[in-house]
């Protein structure tokens, strides 16, 4: 049994600042994230902040509140304040997903992706262009939406509507998104961790103080008469939070290792091959992308209903509301579908089997060629089902917490959903990179039993 002193061992954290290169990277990462958070509080010109806050206070109680809540989460709260970073990094994420899907269906892009570093640089450049285009389109429609007073129940959000405001809003929000993208690339090159992922994580973590303040109000430690959450309920919530984080770590790190044997080849006087390795097939291949796709689809009727006063859309949107059984079932099925869809896009068993055959590799007990590709497809289909069902459960778990323990969704959202998956995955990747630097300089790492195996 490890002692408390061993558990609370801060020497790895201290050692991180003893390595000059790692210390510089950590400070650069922290500084750039601070710049990002400062930008989330700089308002867009021409906006009445008080009226906007009143509108979001009202809309949070309606069906459209779920849509705004998701976008606001990825923008780190910048959308509800309509700051220069109101679009957040979502246009870049959308452009990246679109490019990833196009790479799988367009032969020219697929060929470009196989050209190594040069090909990836070109695809990244196309992704940047796509980000600019999406940012311009989204910011223009946001400007038009803000100018329409009929959507704000009499609130005057824009002080001076017109083309001047529209152009200024498009320039401001598009520039803000490009600047966030640049910050992420600088973290990637000069800092530590995945820059874009860290930016998203910083925005999600920034919601913790607001959730904690709501929780303090609900437990009312100094006024038992106003207490809405009992101490036993708080203990249950703490236990569930630990259990959810532990389960997410297990499924994020989970993989099925397919053994591969390479035959020996004699080239001149040298012998190549003969070693054994494995193919790691991830249980959770899609990550949060399946949840993002499912949320976009299930919120589409509510979005149409807010713009088109059609009775059919109104009835459909009323039945697809968070907390209803139909919403939960459709949401879970969409997540499972998109888990399989994304896995089919990014995982190609035919190419994998052909590459193994090309270099003399084979799976013991399975013939090379078609049999290998069929075997890999069979295994991937089975493990994807387990991963998809877990992701669907994690996505709908906050709804059960909200209904069972009677807590606000802002508090319940940290018990599952997109936020917890992103935070856990990004933290694992970042700790793995810090661990690699420590072990490379012969310092004790964060984990004594071995290296942290980050996501592949």
Beta bridge partners of 361: 262
CA dist list (Å): 378 to 85, 375, 383, 389: 44, 5, 9, 17
> Does 364 lie in the same domain as 301?
yes
Query: What is the per-residue pLDDT across 229-278, written as a single tens digit (0 to 9) for each?
Result: 777 878 888 888 888 888 888 888 888 888 888 776 666 666 655 677 88
Cα angle 202, 206, 211; round to 5: 140
Mean pLDDT computed over every residue of the chain = 78
> Does 453 lie in the same domain as 307?
yes
Report whether pLDDT(333) > 80.
yes
**CB-based burial, 150-168: b 16+ in 10 Å, e otherwise:** eebeeeebbeebeeebbeb
Of residues 250 and 56, the one with the higher pLDDT is 250
Which range (54-58, 156-160, 287-291, 342-346) has the least confidence?
54-58
CATH number of the CATH domain containing 119 = 1.10.3370.10
> Contacts from 144-151 at CB under 8 Å and sequence distance 24+?
146/47, 146/82, 151/306
* Strand arrangement, sheet containing 255-262: 276-282, 255-262, 361-362
Which range (164-178, 187-201, 398-412) has the least confidence?
398-412
Report the distance separating Cα 362 and Cα 359, nearest Å.
9
Look at residues 206, 239, 258 and tell me which one is the last residue of a structural domain.
206
> Does 362 lie in the same domain as 265?
yes
> Does 323 lie in the same domain as 242?
yes
> Does 49 lie in the same domain as 196?
yes
> Does 226 lie in the same domain as 179?
no
Which range (179-188, 217-226, 303-312) has the least confidence?
303-312
Of 260, 244, 285, nearest in space to 383 by CA: 285
**Contact (CB, 8 A) for 352 and 375:** no
Cα angle 409, 411, 412; round to 5: 60
Of 113, 116, 118, nearest in space to 99 by CA: 113
The predicted model gives 415-434 an average pLDDT of 80
Q: What is the pLDDT of residue 170?
A: 92
Give a yes or no: residue 3 inside a domain. no
Give a yes or no: residue 436 inside a domain. yes
Give a yes or no: residue 4 inside a domain. no
Of residues 358 and 389, the one with the higher pLDDT is 389
> Does 165 lie in the same domain as 119?
yes
Question: How many structural domains is the chain composed of?
Answer: 2
Report the distance separating Cα 268 and Cα 253, nearest Å.
42
Instruction: Tell me the pLDDT band of 22, cut-offs 50, 70 and 90.
Output: confident
The predicted model gives 342-370 an average pLDDT of 83
Of residues 426 and 263, the one with the higher pLDDT is 426
> Does 285 lie in the same domain as 158?
no
Of residues 15 and 433, the one with the higher pLDDT is 433
Query: What is the per-residue pLDDT across 191-225, written as a single tens digit (0 to 9) for each?
Result: 888 888 888 888 888 888 877 777 777 777 666 66
Give a yes or no: residue 143 inside a domain. yes
> Does 232 lie in the same domain as 368?
yes
Report the distance separating Cα 79 and Cα 15, nearest Å.
39
Look at residues 180, 206, 232 and tell me which one is the last residue of a structural domain.
206
Report whether pLDDT(8) > 50.
no
Identity of the highest mean pLDDT range in 156-165, 172-181, 309-318, 408-417: 172-181
Residue 89: count other Cβ atoms within 10 Å of its Cβ: 25
Residue identified by tokens 């802002």 is 410
Q: Alpha carbon 33 to chain centroid distance?
A: 17
Report the distance separating Cα 447 and Cα 249, nearest Å.
15
Instruction: Tell me the pLDDT band of 121, cut-offs 50, 70 and 90.
Output: confident
Residue 350 domain boundaries: 215-456
Identity of the highest mean pLDDT range in 143-147, 177-181, 252-256: 177-181
> Does 249 lie in the same domain as 159?
no
Report the distance separating Cα 305 and Cα 321, nearest Å.
12
The predicted model gives 387-397 an average pLDDT of 87
Q: What is the pLDDT of residue 152?
A: 59
Report the distance separating Cα 158 and Cα 169, nearest Å.
11
Give a yes or no: residue 11 inside a domain. no
- Across 248-366, where does the E strand assignment appear? 255-262, 265-267, 270-272, 276-282, 361-362
Give a yes or no: residue 303 inside a domain. yes
- Quote the pTM value: 0.77
**Contact (CB, 8 A) for 82 and 43:** yes
Which range (92-101, 258-267, 327-336, 359-368) has the least confidence?
258-267
> Does 155 lie in the same domain as 55?
yes
User: What DSSP string describes 414-444?
Assistant: GGSHHHHHHHHHHHHHHHHHHHHHHHHTT--
Give a yes or no: residue 187 inside a domain. yes
Instruction: Tell me the pLDDT band of 391, cut-offs 50, 70 and 90.
Output: confident
**Contact (CB, 8 A) for 391 and 285:** no
Query: What is the per-residue pLDDT across 283-294, written as a single tens digit (0 to 9) for each?
Result: 888 777 787 778
**Contact (CB, 8 A) for 33 and 204:** no
Name the pairing type of β-strands 265-267 and 270-272: antiparallel
> Does 416 lie in the same domain as 386?
yes
In the structure, how many helices (H) and strands (E) does the chain have?
Answer: 21, 5
Report whether pLDDT(174) > 90.
yes
**Contact (CB, 8 A) for 323 and 403:** yes
Give a yes or no: residue 1 inside a domain. no
Three-state SS for 202?
A: helix
Look at residues 206, 238, 266 and tell me which one is the last residue of a structural domain.
206
Report whether pLDDT(26) > 70.
yes
Q: What is the pLDDT of residue 1?
A: 41
């Amino acid at each position: 049994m490890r002692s408390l002193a061993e558990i609370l061992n801060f020497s790895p954290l201290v050692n991180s600042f003893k390595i000059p290169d790692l210390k510089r990277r950590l400070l650069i990462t922290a500084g750039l994230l601070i710049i990002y958070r400062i930008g989330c509080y700089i308002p867009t010109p021409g906006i009445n902040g008080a009226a906007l806050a009143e509108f979001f206070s009202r809309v949070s109680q309606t069906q459209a509140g779920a849509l705004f809540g998701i976008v606001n989460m990825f923008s780190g709260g910048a959308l509800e304040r309509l700051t220069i970073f109101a679009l957040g990094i979502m246009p870049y994420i959308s452009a990246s997903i679109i490019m990833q899907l196009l790479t799988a269906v367009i032969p020219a892009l697929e060929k470009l992706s196989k050209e190594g570093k040069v090909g990836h640089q070109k695809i990244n450049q196309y992704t940047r262009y796509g980000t600019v285009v999406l940012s311009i389109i989204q910011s223009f429609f946001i400007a038009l939406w803000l100018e329409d007073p009929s959507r704000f129940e009499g609130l005057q959000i824009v002080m001076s509507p017109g083309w001047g405001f529209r152009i200024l809003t498009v320039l401001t929000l598009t520039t803000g998104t490009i600047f966030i993208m640049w910050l992420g690339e600088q973290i990637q090159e000069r800092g530590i961790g995945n820059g874009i992922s860290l930016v998203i994580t910083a925005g999600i973590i920034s919601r913790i103080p607001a959730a904690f303040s709501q929780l303090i109000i609900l437990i009312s430690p100094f006024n038992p008469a106003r207490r809405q959450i009992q101490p036993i309920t708080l203990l249950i919530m703490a236990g569930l939070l630990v259990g959810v984080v532990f389960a997410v770590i297990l499924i994020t790190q989970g993989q099925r290792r397919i053994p591969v044997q390479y035959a020996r080849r004699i080239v001149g006087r040298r012998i190549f091959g003969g070693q054994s390795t494995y193919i790691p097939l991830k249980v959770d291949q899609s990550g949060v992308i399946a949840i993002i796709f499912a949320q976009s689809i299930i919120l589409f009727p509510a979005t149409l209903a807010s713009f088109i006063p059609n009775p059919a859309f109104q009835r459909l949107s009323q039945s697809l509301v968070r907390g209803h059984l139909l919403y939960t079932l459709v949401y879970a099925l969409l997540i499972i579908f998109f888990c399989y869809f994304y896995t089919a896009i990014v995982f190609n068993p035919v190419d994998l089997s052909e590459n193994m055959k090309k270099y003399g590799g084979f799976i013991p007990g399975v013939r090379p060629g078609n049999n290998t590709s069929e075997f890999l497809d069979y295994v991937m289909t089975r493990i994807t089902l387990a991963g998809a069902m877990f992701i669907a459960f994690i996505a709908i778990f906050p709804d059960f917490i909200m209904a069972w323990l009677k807590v606000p969704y802002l508090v319940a959202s940290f018990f599952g959903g997109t936020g917890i998956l992103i935070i856990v995955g990004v933290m694992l990747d970042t700790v793995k990179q810090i661990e690699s630097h420590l072990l490379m300089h012969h310092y004790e790492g964060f984990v004594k039993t071995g290296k942290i195996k980050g996501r592949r």
